[in-house]
Amino acid sequence: MDDMRSIVQQIEAAGTEGVQVCPQGGGSKAFLRSSEDARIVSTSAHTGTLHYYPDELVIRVRAGTRLTDLQEEVAHQGQFLPFDPPHLGVESTVGGVVAAGLGGSARPFWGGIRDYVLGVKVVLPTGQVAVFGGDVMKNVAGYDVSRLMVGSMGSLGLILELALKVLPAPEATRVFTLPMSPADAIRTIQLHRGRPGLSAAVFFKNVLYLRFSGTHQQLAQAENRLAGAINTDSDEVVRKIQNLEFPVQHHLWRWDASQAEPIECSELIAFDWGGRLRWLDSHLAPSIATSSGVLTCFKPGQGELPARSMRTDTVGWIQERLKFALDPQSRFISYPSFRVST
């Protein structure tokens, strides 16, 4: 269903009234926003596939299309979305997924959302509609605004449409279960890096799960190398960790660390991305060395939230200038920084 007219009208009306706009899809990631007093403009009625050419590996959908519907549609053609984002609720929409920019477990192996976005149609903070990128793989006309929208958290405009690159789905999947300590897990992952078909390396409760997705031959090779390990053709356990379906006592913290950063940390409950994305459960800001990487309070639990800090380096300065350049009157919400240290 085409709901563009209503969306644009809502944005224009908010502009006239001087109320800030907060774009939203299904609202499954609403916890990522700062609690600003902004008017929600929802894309959830702006749905449907505009075109899908499996043999060109391109699909264009309206932003309110549910992620599950999109994944089902491409699966029918033997294809998939390689960025395979976390599902944080059934109501999750494609526009919301792209605006939040969260990568799934395959992120280090197959790339992130930004690697598969080819084009966008957006409503700018002025209420004007603009189109960037296109439906083609190679396109270097103008700055890459399509990819700038990925992870911009609705602060630069409202995404109306997306053209995405899809790929042929792997022939098969196999998940290997390897009980071990976090430090051993990191060493084991290093042994398998670069091996054909590795598509996830996640850790939860002293178990490392390695997922291989690819041709039957690739999986057979993986089985030879990991002889003796329990394995299954269901990747449900990997998905549960990717989708954060585990109990958290306090606030859920996200630590984006470099590979070299020691993994030992008492608050660690899980890691993904081969150790680069670490999930911590803590009431206070976890006591970790943040000499590299970024610590963010990802999902608040009960109790007081720790103070946030904006990044103060040149990158932070440019981010603010970009936001001001594209939305000088702050008609849209600001980028919600959850960073607690740099």
Residue 256 near another protein by CB under 8 A: yes
CB 161 within 8 A of CB 120: yes
Q: Which is nearer to another protein, 33 or 147 (CB)?
A: 147
We find the least distance from the C-beta atom of residue 96 to another protein, in angstroms, to be: 16
Residue 332 near another protein by CB under 8 A: no
Residue 55 near another protein by CB under 8 A: yes
Q: Which is nearer to another protein, 95 or 112 (CB)?
A: 112
State the Cα–Cα distance between residues 119 and 94, nearest whole angstrom.
Answer: 13
Q: Which of residues 157-186 bind another protein (CB under 8 A)?
A: 167-169
Q: Which is nearer to another protein, 52 or 209 (CB)?
A: 52
* Per-residue tokens: 286: 């976890």
We find the least distance from the C-beta atom of residue 328 to another protein, in angstroms, to be: 9
State the Cα–Cα distance between residues 274 and 185, nearest whole angstrom.
Answer: 9
DSSP state of 329: T
CB 61 within 8 A of CB 124: no
Beta bridge partners of 280: 253, 268
Task: Provide CB contacts within 8 A for 95, sequence distance 6+.
Answer: 23, 25, 43, 46, 63, 64, 65, 158, 159, 160, 162
Residue 53 near another protein by CB under 8 A: yes
State the Cα–Cα distance between residues 307 and 231, nearest whole angstrom.
Answer: 43
Q: Which is nearer to another protein, 66 or 286 (CB)?
A: 286
Count of residues of this chain found to bind another protein when the rule CB under 8 A is applied: 78
Q: Which is nearer to another protein, 91 or 256 (CB)?
A: 256
* Per-residue tokens: 3: 């709901």
Q: Which is nearer to another protein, 38 or 219 (CB)?
A: 219
Q: Which of residues 216-235 bind another protein (CB under 8 A)?
A: 217-218, 220-221
We find the least distance from the C-beta atom of residue 302 to another protein, in angstroms, to be: 25
Member of 49, 71, 177, 259 binding another protein (CB under 8 A): 259
Using DSSP's 3-state secondary structure scheme, residue 133 falls into strand
Residue 335 near another protein by CB under 8 A: yes
Burial 184-217 (b: 16+ CB within 10 A, else e): ebbebbeebeeeebbbbbbbbeeebbbbbbbeee
Using DSSP's 3-state secondary structure scheme, residue 205 falls into coil
Residue 15 near another protein by CB under 8 A: no
Q: Which is nearer to another protein, 90 or 137 (CB)?
A: 137
Q: Which of residues 263-322 bind another protein (CB under 8 A)?
A: 273, 276-277, 292, 294, 296, 311, 313-316, 318-319, 321-322
Q: Which is nearer to another protein, 66 or 254 (CB)?
A: 254
Q: Which of residues 95-134 bind another protein (CB under 8 A)?
A: 101-103, 107-108, 111-112, 114-115, 124, 126, 128-132, 134
We find the least distance from the C-beta atom of residue 102 to another protein, in angstroms, to be: 8
Alpha carbon 68 to its chain's center:
15
CA-closest candidate to residue 270, choices 294, 287, 290, 245: 245
Residue 341 near another protein by CB under 8 A: no
Positive or negative, the Cα torsion across 329, 333, 335, 339? Answer: positive
Q: Which of residues 131-160 bind another protein (CB under 8 A)?
A: 131-132, 134-145, 147-148, 150-152, 156
State the Cα–Cα distance between residues 243 and 281, nearest whole angstrom.
Answer: 16
We find the least distance from the C-beta atom of residue 201 to another protein, in angstroms, to be: 13
Member of 78, 179, 262, 303 binding another protein (CB under 8 A): 78
